[in-house]
A and B are shown apart, each in its own frame.
Chain A
Amino acid sequence: MIRRCFQVAARLGHHRGLLEAPHILPRLNPASAFGSSTDSMFSRFLPEKTDLKDYALPNASWCSDMLSLYQEFLEKTKSSGWIKLPSFKSNRDHIQGLKLPSGLAVSSDKGDCRIFTRCIQVEGQGFEYVIFFQPTQKKSVCLFQPGPYLEGPPGFAHGGSLAAMMDETFSKTAFLAGEGLFTLSLNIRFKNLIPVGSLVVMDVEVDKIEDQKLYMSCIAHSRDQQTVYAKSSGVFLQLQLEEESPQ
C-alpha cells in the first residue's frame, strides 16, 4: 500500500496520477487538519507553552559570529515578521496530534527516535543551528555551525552534514510555506569546504509552488558573503497530515 502510494506520488512528473486518484492520496482541502488559516498550522508547530527543550537557542559552543547574527535576527522577529523556529529532539514533537496520511504512517516502537539534525546532543559537537522563517516572503535563514563530530576531510565538515542541513531547512520551510512533507529531489553544487566550527549562513527561498510540489533554492555562504560554500535546489512533495485518532 505504501509502495502504491509512492508510485502514484512518483508520477508527479506527469502530475496526472495524483490528480486522477484522489482516493489514494488526500487532495489538499481547506477543511483539513490545518483549517483554512495558516494561524492554526503555526500554532501547532510553534506551541506557546511547552515542556519540550528547544535546541535552537544559544549555548556556550556558539561562535561570536553566530551569536551576533542570531541577535540581529531576533530583532527582525520583533520588527519585520520573521519567526524563530523551535527545534525539538524529534519531528514527532513538532506535529503533536497529527500523523502522516494513512498508508504512510508506520507504527514505530523503535524506542528513542531523534531527528537526524539533533542526533548528537553534546553541545557544540554536532549540528548547532537555528532557523528563522519569514511567512510572507516565504524565505528562511539557517545559521549553522558544524562541530567536530561532523567531520569528513580532516578539519572540515562532511559533505553529507551540509546536505542534511540543507534538506532540513528546505523541509521546515516547505512545511510552513505549503505543507511540504517529503523530499523529492536534492541537487547540491559544493564550492568550498567548510572548516569545522565556523559559521555557515544559509539563505533559502521558495521559488514556486506548482502541481503539489514546492521548489526551493539555497545559498550557503560565510557571514561576510566572501565565501560561497555551496548552492542547492530542492523539491518537496505537498502532503497533508491527518488528525491522530483519539486513543
Chain B
Amino acid sequence: MLRSCAARLRTLWALCRPPVGRRLPGSVPRPELRSFSSEEVILKDCSVPNPSWNKDLRLLFDQFMKKCEDGSWKRLPSYKRTPTERIQDFKTRFLDPKLMKEEQMSQAQLFTRSFDDGLGFEYVMFYNDIEKRMVCLFQGGPYLEGPPGFIHGGAIATMIDSTVGMCAMMAGGIVMTANLNINYKRPIPLCSVVMINSQLDKVEGRKFFVSCNVQSVDEKTLYSEATSLFIKLNPAKSLT
C-alpha cells in the first residue's frame, strides 16, 4: 500500500514541478539574470514591432517590409545572444582555447540587445544584396541619453558601428572594425526615429570600406555621416 502511495505521490510531484529552463553550462541563475537564461528569450527575434515602437518606426517598418516582397530587400533577424554554434565556430577558428573563460561567455549578451523593450536600442535592419546596402531603422530610448533630451554620441556610434559592421559582414563574413570616423551634424532627440543608410563602397583584398548617413524619417534632416573600414579576420592568426 505504501509503495503505491509513494508511486502516486511521485507522479503528482512530476506533474506539479515547473518546467526547467535550459541553463547554459557553468552559469548560475541569479535573480537579475533569470529573465535572460531561458531558451525562449535568447532565441526571440527582436527585430519585429513591439509596444514600445512609436508610429514613425512602425510606418518605416511597414514600408520596408513591402520592399521585401519582391525579394530585393531582406529583413535581418536579431537575437539577444549569438547562437551557440556560431560561438563555437568563432572560438575554434580565432581564439586560443586556454584563454577563453566559459563562465563569462554564458552570461554574455549582444550589447545592443541588453535592454528591456523601449528603454535602449529599438532597431531593425534591412539588406539589399544587389546594391550592397544595409538600412537600419533606429529608435533610441531614455537609457541612451547624453546631453539632456538627446541621444549620447556613443550610442549613435554604437548603432553606426553595428549597421556598417553588418553591411561589411554580409559581404565579407567575420570582420572586425578597424576604423570608424563619425561627423555629428545635429544632435538626435531622445525617443525619435532615424534611418541609418549604409553602403559598401569598396573591397580591397581583406579590407571592406563602408560609409553611411543618419537621417530623419522624412529624409530632410541629416544628423550624422560616417565612414568606416572593416578587416576580414584571418583564421591563421589568433586574436588572443
Binding site for B on A (CB under 8 A): 2-3, 6, 10, 90-92, 95, 99-100, 104-108, 110-117, 119-120, 122, 125-126, 148-161, 163-168, 171, 181-190, 192-193, 195-197
Contacts and interface: CB of A to CB of B under 8 A. Distances in A.
B157 A116 contact: no
A182 B147 contact: yes
A92 B148 contact: yes
Chain B contact surface mostly: mixed
Interface stretch (B15-23, B57-65, B185-193): B185-193
Contacts of B172: none
Contacts, number: 193
A164 to B, nearest CB: 3
Contact of B149 (A106, A149, A171): A106
Given A6-B187, A168-B152, 5 more contacts: A2-B186, A91-B147, A110-B142, A186-B184, A190-B179
Interface string B160-183: 111001000000001011111111
Contacts of B72: none
Contact of A163 (B148, B176, B180): B180
B235 to A, nearest CB: 14
B149 A167 contact: no
Contacts of B184: 182-186
Contacts of B87: 154
A115 B157 contact: no
Contacts of A159: 158, 161, 165, 177, 180
B155 interface: yes
A99 to B, nearest CB: 7
Contacts of A153: 90, 174, 176
Contacts of B186: 2-3, 6, 10
Interface size class of B (residues with CB under 8 A): 35 or more
B109 interface: yes
Contacts of B159: 160
Contact of A164 (B100, B147, B158, B181): B158
Contacts of A187: 179-182
A48 to B, nearest CB: 23
B188 to A, nearest CB: 11
A142 to B, nearest CB: 12
B43 interface: no
Nearest to B114: A149
Nearest to B174: A153
B38 to A, nearest CB: 17
A105 B183 contact: no
23 contacts: A95-B148, A108-B148, A110-B142, A111-B142, A112-B142, A114-B145, A116-B145, A120-B114, A149-B111, A151-B109, A153-B176, A154-B86, A154-B108, A155-B104, A155-B105, A157-B111, A158-B111, A160-B112, A168-B152, A186-B157, A187-B182, A190-B176, A196-B104
Contacts of A193: 176, 239
A160 B148 contact: no
B227 to A, nearest CB: 10
Contacts of A189: 178-179
A126 B146 CA distance: 17
B177 A106 contact: no
Contacts of A181: 147
Contacts of B157: 160, 163-164, 167, 186, 188
A95 B114 CA distance: 28
A90 B155 CA distance: 15
B4 interface: no
A124 to B, nearest CB: 9
A65 to B, nearest CB: 16
Interface string B204-240: 0000000000000000010000000000000000011
A160 B111 contact: yes
